[in-house]
A and B are shown apart, each in its own frame.
Chain A
C-alpha cells in the first residue's frame, strides 16, 4: 500500500521520467482516495507547467525590461559587444 510520503516522491519523479506501470497504477489509486496528495499533485504539476510556460524561449525584444528572470537589456548589449570584440580578435 502506497503511503503519502512515497506518493509525493512519485508525483515528482513522474515529471522527470516515465514511471513503471505498477507505480502509475498505485499512485493513481492513492490520489483518488487521498485529498491531500491530490492537492499536492495539482500544485506541484501546476507550478511546473507555469515555469515551463514562463521560461519558454522568447526573442530578446519580446521580454519586458525589468523581468526578474532574464538578463537586463543593457547587460545583454554589453556582453554582445564584448563577444563581438573578442571573436574578431581571435585568429581562426
Chain B
C-alpha cells in the first residue's frame, strides 16, 4: 500500500560513479523534494510566501550549480544545504540571528519543569494522541505548525531538518556541524517544547472541555 517514496539513489561511491537518475532529472526535483524544502524554510522564517520564495531560489541556484554536484551526498541534503545558507542570509537581513545556544549547556526551560532532585515539578497532563481523530483536522495541523514555528534556534533547525524534511542524522550533523550527541540533545529540546505547546494549545484545552 505504501507509495514508492521515490528517494533519489544515494549516488555515493566517489568520482566516476554514474550520476543517479533523480539528479539528472531536475524536472522531478520539485515533486521529490519541494515539500521537504518548503517545510524546512517555513519553520525557519514562519511566513509562507517567504518560504516559497526561498525554495524557488534554492532550486534555481541548484540548477546552475548542478554540474558541480559531485553526488557525494544525497540530493536532498545538497538542496537543504543551499536552502540553509539562503535562509540564514534572509534571517540576518531581518536582524534575526539563528540561535547560538549550546547543546552542551543546560536548557533553562526544561530545567524549570523539574525539581532540583530531577523529579517533575510541573508534570504533563494526562492526554493521548489519537491519530484517527487528529489526522484529518486542519485546525490541529495549523496549531501544530504554529507550535513548530515557536521552537526557535538550533533545536528548531535540527528538528526541521531531521523530522520535518527527513534528512539523515549523519547529514544533519554535517550540515549543522554538530556531533550526534548534540543532535539528540537538540531534538529532545525541540520535542519537549512541541509537546508542551500542544498541551497548552490543543490537548490540555480539549481534556478540560471534556471534564
Measured CB to CB, the residues of A under 8 A from B are 3-6, 8-9, 12-13, 15-17, 35-37, 39-40, 42-44, 46-60, 63, 67-72, 75-76, 78-80, 82-84, 86-87, 90
Judge whether A43 and B118 touch: CB under 8 Å: no
Which chain A residues lie closer than 8 Å to B95 at the CB level?
none
Which B residues lie within 8 Å of A58 (CB)?
A: 3
Other-chain contact of B117, A3, A8, A46 (Cβ < 8 Å): A3
B78 to chain A, nearest CB (A): 15
Bound complex: CA of A3 vs CA of B34, how far in Å? 42
Task: Specify the chain A residue showing the minimal Cβ separation from B4.
Answer: A57
Please tell me if the beta carbons of A51 and B164 are within 8 angstroms of each other in the complex: yes
Q: Which residues of A contact B39 (CB under 8 A)?
A: 55, 69-70
Interface size class of B (residues with CB under 8 A): 35 or more
Q: Is the CB of A79 within 8 A of B192?
A: no
Find chain A residues with CB under 8 A from B64 CB: 86, 90
Closest chain-A Cβ to B3's Cβ sits at a distance in Å of 6
**What is the CB-to-nearest-CB distance from B63 to chain A, in angstroms, rounded to a whole number?**
5
| Neighbour of A54 across the interface among B66, B124, B135, CB < 8 A | B135
Q: How far is the CA of A80 from the CA of B141 in the complex (A)?
A: 27
B93 at the A interface (CB under 8 A): no
> CA A72 – CA B52 in complex, angstroms?
8
- A12 in contact with B63 (CB, 8 Å): no
Given contact pairs A12-B187, A54-B141, A70-B38, A87 touches B124 in the complex (Cβ within 8 A): no
List residues 104-157 of chain B with CB under 8 A from any CB of chain A: 110, 114, 117-120, 123-129, 131, 134-135, 138, 141-142, 145
